Chain A
Amino acid sequence: MRRVRPIAVMVAAGVLAVACGSATSTGGGGGTSNNGKVGGKLLIDNESGSTWTCQFNPFNPSVNITSIGFVYEPLEFVNILQTNPDGTPKVTPWLATGSSWSNAFTTLTMTIRSGVKWSDGSPFTANDVLYTFNALKADPALDLNALWAVDSGPLTSVALQGSDQVVFTFNAPAQSYFYYVADQTPIVPQHIWGSLDQSKLDTYADTSPVGTGPYLMSNCSQDNIKYLRNTSYWKSKPGHPVPQVAEVDYPAFLSNTSANLYLAQGQAQWGAQYIPNIQSYYISKSPSTRHYWFPPTLNVSLFPNLTNPLLGNLAVRQAIAMAIDRSQVSQRGESGYEPAANQTGIVLPTYKAWYDKSLDTLTYNPSKAEQTLQAAGFTKGSNGVYANAQGQQLSFTIKSISGYTDWDASLQVITQELKAVGIQVTVEDEDSTPYTNDTQGGNFQLAYGEMPVAGPGPYYELRPMLFSGSIGSTNYERYRSASTDALFNQYSGASPTQQLDIIHQISAVMAQDLPVIPVTEGVDWYQYDTTSFGGWPTPSNPYAQPPVWATPDNGVVLTQLYPVS
């Protein structure tokens, strides 16, 4: 879906009301139990920003949220919100029954499930898996996670072993790629895709997708996609039907306001919406059945351009970090929906297994911020702004994305707080494309933003953010440290305890060097209504990432929901 935040046309949303509320869920309908019933029509509510194109190619990033999870399935499910006791993410078999690493994490063997059928009746086999991964090599435009060595990934070959095993060979330890191979690559049928032009698979429209998933795409128009349950879904057993929801409708909402209204009117049950003042606009209309849960997955941070001589100065970054009252920004900028972040870079509570409290020492302290600047040789000018001996003032611009009104509100708080310690900042809003261009290209002084996508653990956020090889793409601040790079390079070949140690060391880098200054934690917007359906993911049962655009987690949720009446 489109990365959309509340836009300026908010007068219609009734934002005039006073914002209140807290980020905690209002509790509600926990466990997932199959009650054997089948029926009901589930409506999904998520602003798509444009009408549906009715294409379902799972390798097309602009449409794949309507096919992965519904129709196409991956090999294993990696839940980014749940960890095992040793900190590793919880993995559940899907189209594979299991997997194992060998040769120092350079060989991955997947055992493929038998008895699964494509929705056209053909049997699903290990050959389909082999075909899918080779297709990514044949048409590099499909290789969205850059798995193959030719696309600068570590994967060098995929081969069959026996009739039901697929062996992936990597040119380096590749544990961190497990998520992309197992969870993020949907498997497509060889008997259909194999007969297409293999170099142009990326432009294949796939208007009537054939998959192994719980739903069949039944009808698509510009404004709605209708899915019907796959009556011969492989997880179904006599007396234990899967999925249990008979029909799923996914309307295309062009604006946040129309999507919010639809949710508030109770017409949709599964929302992934930013709703200003959610308590009175949505919850209060049916407090016993309506709930929300906003699990944080990524930091929203201030990125200082380290090539700027002033921002390259650690004292200046320390002063900025100590001058920002993160809980104020969270409360006033984000209505408390997005919690305050911490300087160790670990998103809490989601990745609490990786958090080292002893490193989290930086606190809000404006007077200490000024002392730090003075100790570093900065003096306050007559205009109240600190300057160095050469007379260069601590006056910066912050680039942000236009239309992200909550970020604008947060930046307003940040601007005031920085002004209080003698640092002057001016916010410059840009459209998302020039913003991406500028942040990636280093054409900014300070930037407010977040990493594009979360993964199963802080590594998946911190590496793109701090690895020197990502300068030019997601290492906006242009941090370059050989020792930090070495830590990232060890991660994929490390044991769980070593990985934990690596992340702690990187947290220490974040806390001491302040290459990036996390301010708030970006959350997944998620609302659900238990009037007709149960089995929703909740804070006490976070069995999948809950917003409908999170693939393939949406497929897990769809197989857990059940009609209540």
Chain B
Amino acid sequence: MRYVTRRVGLFVITLWAALTVNFIIPRVMPGNEATAVLATFRDVNPAALHALQIEFGVNVHQNLIVTYLQYIANCFTGQFGLTAQRVPVLTEIAGKLPWTLALVGITTIIAFAIGTLVGVVSAWRRGGRLDGILPPMLFIVATFPVFFVGLLLLYVFAVTLNWLPLSSNYSIGATPSLSLSFLGDVLTHALLPGLSLVIVTAGLWIYSMRNNMITTLAEDYVKMGRAKGLPSWRIMTDYAARNAILPNLTGFAMQLGYVLGGSILVEYTFSYPGLGYLFYTSTTDHDLPLMQALFLVYTLAVLVCVLVADLVTAGLDPRTRDA
């Protein structure tokens, strides 16, 4: 119980720190929303600066402490205001979230599954053919920046071979529905961005899973299992893998932050209209309300995942509960 309260306490403090940083960072960026609109949109008369300053309240000076307290209160009530394009921030985020959630969620699970499986098998058959090829190769690929992998895939499959679409989440003019043809369209559009994310993240899973497995395989209880004559698949899955996967579960949550960050680059590379792309445009447009809300969404996602992972580990591993 003490473990759980400590974890939750740490979560609250981290969240507060993140919220505060989130409040400060956009305010020290150069420029303001009014100049950003002038800088971003074509055909706007420079005389519009006055109108835009009124619009965004640029010259309205308010006590920073009051603004800060309002901001914290708004974070809890979900009142994020309007974006620079005057759309409610929540509507904007709600429209993009499903795309990123689906893309990042599915690719993370696939990468985790592939990585863990390959890690387990290659550690079990250490020095084998599989162990000699896949882990080193994928680990090298994992060090590539995700946009680089994305650009390569784009060049090969979209430009040269013309097999897959260049960008976007579905074909222009397609009407979103639950029909098979539309889902197929969405899938072909998600294939390349998804693949780039899988390629760069799978290697890390393999690496950690393989190392954990090797350590676990040296444990006495594994020897004991062998001595008792258990079938080797049972030793591999029930004795070794089950214990070796524990650090990976925590890693799964940690990884989410990396994948979310990666999704910004991937969505930008593939012009995939999800949260990551929104995040990119909000930063270049200096869209303060949107930027803050997105920071919050990203921070919350990572923090909640870490908390859940901690709690799950506590459930799986009795030793942590006493710590």
Contact = CB atoms under 8 A, between A and B. Distances in A.
Interface of A: 1-3, 9, 11-12, 14, 49-51, 53, 55, 57, 60-63, 65, 140-146, 151-153, 180, 184, 202-203, 205, 221-224, 249, 251, 253-255, 257-258, 261-262, 267, 431-438, 440, 451-453, 464, 470, 473-474, 549-551
Contacts of A261: 166
Interface string B28-72: 011100011111111111111111101100000000000000000
Contacts of A549: 42-43
Given A203-B82, A435-B39, A145 B45 contact: yes
A9 B51 CA distance: 35
Lowest 5 CB-CB distances: which A-B pairs, in order?
A254-B271, A146-B47, A141-B55, A436-B39, A255-B271
Contact of A437 (B31, B46, B86, B155): B31
B170 to A, nearest CB: 8
A180 B54 contact: no
B237 interface: no
A254 B51 contact: no
Contacts of A65: 43
B33 to A, nearest CB: 9
A551 to B, nearest CB: 7
A253 B168 CA distance: 8
B60 to A, nearest CB: 12
14 contacts: A1-B42, A2-B42, A12-B155, A144-B45, A180-B45, A205-B87, A221-B176, A254-B168, A254-B277, A257-B166, A433-B35, A452-B44, A473-B49, A551-B43
Contacts of A551: 43
Contact of B35 (A14, A254, A440): A440
Contact of A62 (B41, B95, B166): B41
A202 B277 CA distance: 26
B51 A141 contact: yes
B39 A432 contact: yes
Contacts of B45: 144-146, 180, 184, 452-453
Among A62, A251, A435, chain B packs the most CB atoms within 10 A around the CB of: A62
B167 interface: yes
A63 B92 CA distance: 15
A452 B285 CA distance: 16
B164 to A, nearest CB: 12
Interface residues of B, number: 51
A452 B38 contact: yes
B284 A254 contact: no
Interface in B137-160: 151, 154-155, 158-159
Contacts of A142: 51
A169 to B, nearest CB: 19
Contact of B154 (A12, A55, A140): A12
Contacts of A152: 50
B40 A432 contact: yes
A338 B4 CA distance: 65
B284 A433 contact: yes
Given A222-B95, A255-B271, A437 B35 contact: yes
A224 B159 contact: no
Nearest to A153: B47
Among B52, B269, B271, B273, chain A packs the most CB atoms within 10 A around the CB of: B271
A142 B50 CA distance: 10
A50 B281 contact: yes
Contacts of B277: 254
A61 B44 contact: yes
Given A53-B85, A151-B51, A222-B95, A431 B284 contact: yes
Interface of B: 29-31, 35-52, 54-55, 82, 84-87, 92, 95, 151, 154-155, 158-159, 166-168, 170, 172-173, 176, 269, 271, 273, 277-278, 281, 284-286
Contacts of B173: 224, 249, 251
Nearest to A272: B42
A54 to B, nearest CB: 8
Contacts of B44: 61, 144, 452-453
A143 B285 CA distance: 21
B95 A436 contact: no
A155 B228 CA distance: 96
A549 B41 CA distance: 10
Nearest to A146: B47
Contacts of A180: 45
Contacts of B47: 144-146, 153
Nearest to B173: A224
A51 to B, nearest CB: 5
Contact of B271 (A11, A258, A436): A258
A463 to B, nearest CB: 11
Given A144-B52, A434-B31, 7 more contacts: A49-B281, A144-B47, A254-B273, A258-B167, A433-B284, A453-B42, A473-B46
A60 B170 CA distance: 28
B241 to A, nearest CB: 41
Given A11-B155, A51-B273, A202-B55, A550 B35 contact: no
A2 B271 CA distance: 15
B158 A203 contact: no
B277 to A, nearest CB: 7
Given A205-B86, A254-B277, A434-B31, A61 B48 contact: yes
Contacts of A3: 39-42
A526 to B, nearest CB: 14
B46 to A, nearest CB: 5
Contacts of B271: 253-255, 257-258
A361 B286 CA distance: 43
Contacts of A254: 167-168, 271, 273, 277
Nearest to B55: A141
Nearest to A475: B46
A11 B154 contact: yes
B41 A2 contact: yes
A267 B172 CA distance: 10
Nearest to B96: A51
